[in-house]
Amino acid sequence: MSYKSNSLKYLALQKFKKNFWGVFSFGFVVFVGIISVFAYVFAPDNSQYANQMHLSIHSKQPGFKVLMLIIPSQLKIEQSLVDKIFFGTKITDTETPISEYNVVERKLTYTEYASDGLKGVEKSVDLEVFPNQSVDGFIKERTFLFGTDKYGRDLLSRILVGARISFFIGFVAVFISLLLGILMGSIAGYFGGKIDAMIMWIINVTWSIPTLLLVIAITLALGKGFWQVFIAVGLTMWVEVARVVRGQVISVKEQQYVTAARALGFNDFRIITKHILPNIMAPVIVISAANFASAILIESGLSFLGIGAQPPMASWGAMIKDHYNYIILGKPYLAIIPGLCIMSLVMAFMLIGNALRDALDVKS
Amino acid sequence: MQKNPILNIKNLAIAFGDNQVIHNISYELFENEILGIVGESGSGKSVSSLAVLGLLPKKISKITSGQILFHNEDLTTISSKALQDIRGKKIAMIFQEPMSSLNPSMTCGKQVQEILLQHTKLSNQEAKEETLSLFEKVKLPNPSRVYDAYPHEISGGQKQRVMIAMAISCKPDILIADEPTTALDVTVQKDIIKLLKALQVETKMSIIFITHDLSLISEIADRILVMYKGDIVEKGDAHTIFHKAQHTYTKALISARPSLDTRLKVLPTIKDYLEGTIKDSIITYEDRKQKHEAIYSKPPLLEVINVEKEYISKSGWFSKPITFKAVNDVSFKLYEGETLGLVGESGCGKSTLGNAILQLDKATAGQILYKGTDITKLSNKAIKSLRKDIQIIFQDPYSSLNPRIPVGEAIMEPMQVHKLYNSNKERKTKVIEILERVGLSEDYFNRYPHEFSGGQRQRIGIARTIALQPKLIVCDESVSALDISVQAQVLNLLNELKDSFGFTYIFISHDLAVVKYMSDQLLVMNQGKIEELGDADTIYSTPNSAYTKKLIKAIPKGL
């Protein structure tokens, strides 16, 4: 049997491949995905949550350069490599931006950095604190590609680490919404009658609660934190999926192949999972792409309101919240950069959704 | 008699993308005549007439060459504005599906009136009077009621009459009727044909009548064109075509339809004609009698006793629920190895009865005994094992297969569910065996349904059904959606399988000719009740009830 068969799935994939924006966006999403997983590997500041603060150099422009003195801490922390790669290094060393330094008689004298032409405080420290009694490798010039935020943290690192939240909230929320939505929707659509009425009632009630209010209620019940936001967003989004699934199931259920399956003695579970669900996946996939985008937006909104990810965790929404008042102070890039990130990721998902919709449309 | 061609089509060729669907056809339509175009699906008969009205989908289709001359004006080069004036006013069209071609939110009268107001200078009042007189012309009962009725309030035949009224409202020169009666019952079809003929005589317009049914067309058309794969293979007046067909395709088309008088052992297919291997052995009266004696001496396989199926529709909060008996007090016996034909018009309850036997719908009253046990009272578990014994072959080969499952797996799945055979490997060899049995090959195992033609899909459906080795098969309009030549192949296959596996069939159809060819016993149903039950040939030759007589009379017999 050498014949290569053209399943509908294969045909749709071929069509998707021809759509430039779809493929491009898919590439972009994969790129962001890799970044968010390996954020600490790429980030210049690989401390946990990219949380190295240097208040003296707060809110500098992109490309800002400064000398950085690192005074190692006596405390030693044991951390495995895997832990370092995925959750960041726990750093106890002190970093101080300096403007000048010199070493005299086993003593390091340095001037702390001060902006706006002011002169910083002069301080000195024993060379004893450095291993090998030398400052080589402990004073480096640091470049902040995206500048620094209002606590003097590296904005680029925060963006990279923040991608994680945005990306994973999309996955988790869509996963929860699919799980609940497909289950409830297919049961309602397939069995109909009283079960349908009951599930529709639950759907309508859930739908009538504003998302923000529900998330606030869930956060109140489960406590603040980003996992709660994941769950809350997932719980609000399943209704949409359920409605779409229900409508599709009702129309597919009338198809003769479903009657055929019943006549052949298949049980309900088999009919739903093998004969109905594979045939209604197209709209579900499309709505999932849209949900992915809206989950990212909702999370940003929640973080902006302060009930999303909690500091010191980096999140794009929270970064905008921290810096939106800098927009009128002539430093808009602090809020614009995370804003652009949200926009491009949401846009990528929307474009993938559109491309999938076109590819899965059997009519043309 | 000197005749002027009113429509002259010269060397017309149409392509969909790169696919040439019409190759250089030429024909004329004269004044005051009915021209029949006959052919199977995909032969290009509808496409060529849509081209006349400029209704081809613009994006994908293209007229590659040729002219369509209407009163010596070329419709292929005319502006779309000018074409709009001709459309509806000079050339009108009626479609196959009367259910979907009327706007459901407008009353029938308003829809006809709208056309009159659009194309003529009549006032509102005059247009209304004109509409009522048109309704009278198309013999609608109680025209003023229909005028105020919404499409869902009138029957299918009446809707088609409204469509005809719409089409002739502007007194067109040409009326194109594209399968206008295919969706209708035979008795209604007969009336519509009569009406069209009468209207033609009265208004002296020309009609192009498109159908796949050769015997139907021979009853109405003066001249006939036979189309096959985008070519006109034969043209001539109806009588000559029917009696002295030249082209083998036409001959095959005429004889592929089961005859009402004799019963051939194997129906000839187009391939037989092309290869010249026609077997015309006939099942004689004696053969039948002998076979029936053997069948009826055994106890019945299935016994249906006073079965009723009631539907309750609730129209409002306070109104009483309305009950409607789709099947009303039906009893019959079915013996092993026989074919019971179940015939009736749409809505007579024949499919509902089939579903009740299959236990897809529960009967509301009565008993259904299968091998002596009442299957209406079985537990869900017992029903599952019963499913293996009683199976169904569906009407629509396009929707009865799951588009996402390769056909091999689709046939294998019921075997897995019912735990037939020991391993998947064994099942697979069995599936290939069955595929070969229904005339497909091993190569098709991994293909998906959309890669097959209608006839092939119906074979796959049959293969899936017989995979469970059932005893009783309900064929619910199993060949109605197929072209006549394919229909003959499938009917032959069903008979062949019956001989080799000993199936018992309940053959449900609205087509009396097909049912009569297939059946031993015939059951005529009307409005949920049994109208007549007996030997198929006896009922056909000496029908007792008035309804059966009407039904038999309405079958188009050809010339």
> What percent of chain B is predicted at pLDDT more than 70?
97
Least Cα separation, residue A155 to chain B (angstroms): 48
Which of A345, A338, A341 is CA-nearest to residue A294?
A: A345
- For residue A126, the cross-strand partners are A107
Query: Chain B contacts of A265, Cβ < 8 Å?
Result: 383-385, 387-388, 414, 417-418
Mean pLDDT value across chain B: 84
- For residue B15, the cross-strand partners are B20, B62
Q: A327 φ, ψ to 5°?
A: -60, -45
Distance from chain centroid for Cα A53:
23
The yes-or-no verdict on residue B270 having pLDDT over 80 is: no
Q: What confidence score (pLDDT) does residue B558 get?
A: 67
> Residues B280, B282, B288, CA angle at the centre, nearest 5°?
160
Contact A125, A69 (CB under 8 A): no
ipTM of model = 0.74
Distance between CA atoms of residues A246 and A180, nearest Å: 12
- For residue A148, the cross-strand partners are A154
B559 — pLDDT class (breaks 50, 70, 90): low
The yes-or-no verdict on residue B60 having pLDDT over 80 is: no
pLDDT (mean) for B321-335: 84
Strand B5-16 relative to strand A107-112, pairing: unpaired
Asked if B417 lies within 8 A of A278 by C-beta distance, the reply is: no
Contact B298, B341 (CB under 8 A): no
- Residues in contact with A15: Cβ distance below 8 Å, sequence separation at least 6, in sequence order: A358, A359
Asked if A265 lies within 8 A of B450 by C-beta distance, the reply is: no
The CATH 1.10.3720.10 domain(s) of chain A lie at 155-359
Measure CB to CB from residue B387 to each of A6, A259, A263 and give the nearest one: A263
Residue B415, classified by CB atoms within 10 Å of its CB into exposed (0-12), middle (13-18) or buried (19+), is: buried
Contact B449, B460 (CB under 8 A): yes
Annotate B367-386 with three-state secondary structure. Answer: EEEECCEEHHHCCHHHHHHH
Measure CB to CB from residue B396 to each of A256, A261, A263 and give the nearest one: A256
Least Cα separation, residue A170 to chain B (angstroms): 28
How many Cα neighbours within 13 Å face the side chain of B474? Answer: 24
Contact B344, B510 (CB under 8 A): yes
Measure CB to CB from residue A279 to each of B402, B450, B451 and give the nearest one: B402
Which of A115, A99, A102 is CA-nearest to residue A67?
A: A99
Measure CB to CB from residue A260 to each of B400, B403, B443 and give the nearest one: B400
Contact B336, B502 (CB under 8 A): yes
Helix (H, G, I), strand (E, B) or coil at B219: helix
pLDDT digits (tens, 9 = 90+) for B135-158: 888 888 888 888 888 888 888 788
pLDDT (mean) for B68-90: 82
The beta strands (E) that lie in A64-132 are given as 64-71, 94-104, 107-112, 122-126
Residue keyed to tokens 């009205």: B53
Least Cα separation, residue B18 to chain A (angstroms): 16
Distance between CA atoms of residues B230 and B235, nearest Å: 14
**In the structure encoding, which two tokens stand for residue B306, read together?**
């006073």
Q: Which residue of B has its CA nearest to A278?
A: B404
- Residues in contact with A115: Cβ distance below 8 Å, sequence separation at least 6, in sequence order: A56, A57, A60
Q: What confidence score (pLDDT) does residue A187 get?
A: 94
Query: Chain A contacts of B451, Cβ < 8 Å?
Result: 5-6
Query: Chain A contacts of B383, Cβ < 8 Å?
Result: 265
Distance from chain centroid for Cα B241:
23
pLDDT digits (tens, 9 = 90+) for B306-325: 888 888 766 566 667 777 78
The CATH number corresponding to A155-359 among 1.10.3720.10, 1.20.810.10, 3.10.20.30, 2.60.120.860 equals 1.10.3720.10
Q: Does B413 touch chain A (CB under 8 A)?
A: yes
Measure CB to CB from residue B417 to each of A7, A256, A266 and give the nearest one: A266
Residues (pLDDT < 70) of chain A are 1-6, 362-364
Q: What confidence score (pLDDT) does residue B316 get?
A: 61
**Torsion-angle region of residue A63: left (phi > 0), alpha (psi -120 to 50) or beta?**
left
